[in-house]
Amino acid sequence: MTKPDVMLLASQRPNAMAQLEANFTLHRWDLAEDKAAILAEHGATCTAIATHGHAPVDRAMVAAMPNLKLVSCSSAGFDTFDVTALAERGVALTNTSSALCDDVADTAIMLLLGARRGLVPGDAYVRSGSWGREGMFPLQRSLKGRTLGIVGMGTIGQAIAHRGAAMGQTVRYWNRRPKDLPWAFEPDLITLARDSDNLVVIVAGGEGTRNLIDASVMDALGPDGLLINVARGSVIDEPAMIAALSEGRLGAAALDVFENEPNPDPRLTALPNVTLYPHHASGTVETRDAMAQLLVDNLGAFFAGQPLLSPVDLSAYAVRPNAT
């Protein structure tokens, strides 16, 4: 039986690669020196793309693949994709939020605890001998009884909420729409920030959420507030955050993601009141394997004519002709 043609934009974990090679004729855009040439030669025969969220799928690529029906993405985030171009052509998109949900939620809690309990400076305090010379490390802040605000109540936001509640925190959230959940919905982001001690951001990236967390939200969170970002750097107005942290209008930030990766703004990384992690919330062997497997399984379902396992709803991105 002829194997279907798939355009591979980004290599995957070894086990997934073995399955992709066994089941599909892979066109290795990721390895091709002449990327335009591989698209020109094989774009028309590929009905699917396999990729991750850091390899852009732009309008030109969609146009070069007239029979494209599916983009199977091994990341949760797809903010580098031209989703309008996909939606206009009726191309389906799958992602992997369900596979990385627990590790990203764990990382949010790790950043929360790390920042509130001074893990990084505490580690340095022991290593440097300061403990012996200077005595007790300064007292830190407890989490129990504090309010955890969550911006974005999708799969991962809910996993963070469960963890936060289990630690004795009061959970409140902001989302585009309220959900039937045991935590209080707050429709106004500034009110949520004002009422939160710790605010975690976990909305999708992209133009729709660019600078959602602006200076007014950070001022509302205030000089004792902690801002945690496990979403995308673009969601926070980073220059405004640097100013707020420098001027003491925002207490602290704990960040897994940055506007400029992998070289974040040095004015940000020089600040003492930030805890930093290298965009690695899903970076475990188990989760990266599960994400790659979900990419493979979505391709398998598509070519078997079965329902996709983790489709993204692109209906909001379609530009309808003559829409008023």
d(CA 290, CA 99): 6
d(CA 303, CA 306): 8
Q: Exactly one of 27, 146, 232, 288 is catalytic; which is it?
A: 232
Is-catalytic flag, 232?
yes
Is-catalytic flag, 28?
no
* 155 lines the binding site for ligand DGY (CB under 6 A): no
d(CA 65, CA 51): 15
* 160 lines the binding site for ligand DGY (CB under 6 A): no
Judge contact between 50 and 60, C-beta under 8 A.
no
ω into 262 cis (within 30 of 0):
yes
Closer residue to ligand DGY in complex, CB, 45/98: 98
d(CA 300, CA 272): 48
Q: Hey, CA dihedral for 35, 36, 39, 40, is it positive or negative?
A: negative
Closest CA to 95 of 182, 139, 179, 155: 155
d(CA 29, CA 51): 10
Closer residue to ligand DGY in complex, CB, 191/284: 284
Closer residue to ligand DGY in complex, CB, 51/275: 51
Phi, psi of 167 (to 5 degrees): -90, 5
CB of 128 to ligand DGY, least distance (A): 33
CB of 66 to ligand DGY, least distance (A): 28
CB of 12 to ligand DGY, least distance (A): 13
Closest CA to 233 of 80, 94, 56: 80
Closer residue to ligand DGY in complex, CB, 75/169: 75
Write out the two tokens for 29. 């855009």
Is-catalytic flag, 279?
yes
Judge contact between 199 and 151, C-beta under 8 A.
yes
* 100 lines the binding site for ligand DGY (CB under 6 A): yes
CB of 76 to ligand DGY, least distance (A): 4
Closest CA to 254 of 221, 212, 286: 221
Site string for ligand DGY, 258-287 (x = CB under 6 A): ------------------------x-----
Q: Exactly one of 21, 134, 261, 286 is catalytic; which is it?
A: 261
DSSP states along 190-233:
HHHHHH-SEEEE----SGGGTT-B-HHHHHHH-TT-EEEE-S-G
Amino acid in position 74: S
Site string for ligand DGY, 49-68 (x = CB under 6 A): ----x---------------
Closer residue to ligand DGY in complex, CB, 47/107: 107
β-bridge mates for residue 174, sequence order: 151
Tell me which residues in 281-320 interact with ligand DGY (CB under 6 A): 282
* 105 lines the binding site for ligand DGY (CB under 6 A): no
* 169 lines the binding site for ligand DGY (CB under 6 A): no
Closer residue to ligand DGY in complex, CB, 7/104: 104
Site string for ligand DGY, 68-97 (x = CB under 6 A): -------xxx--------------------
CB of 98 to ligand DGY, least distance (A): 11
Active site residues: 232, 261, 279
User: Residues in the site for ligand DGY, rule: CB under 6 A?
Assistant: 53, 75-77, 100, 282
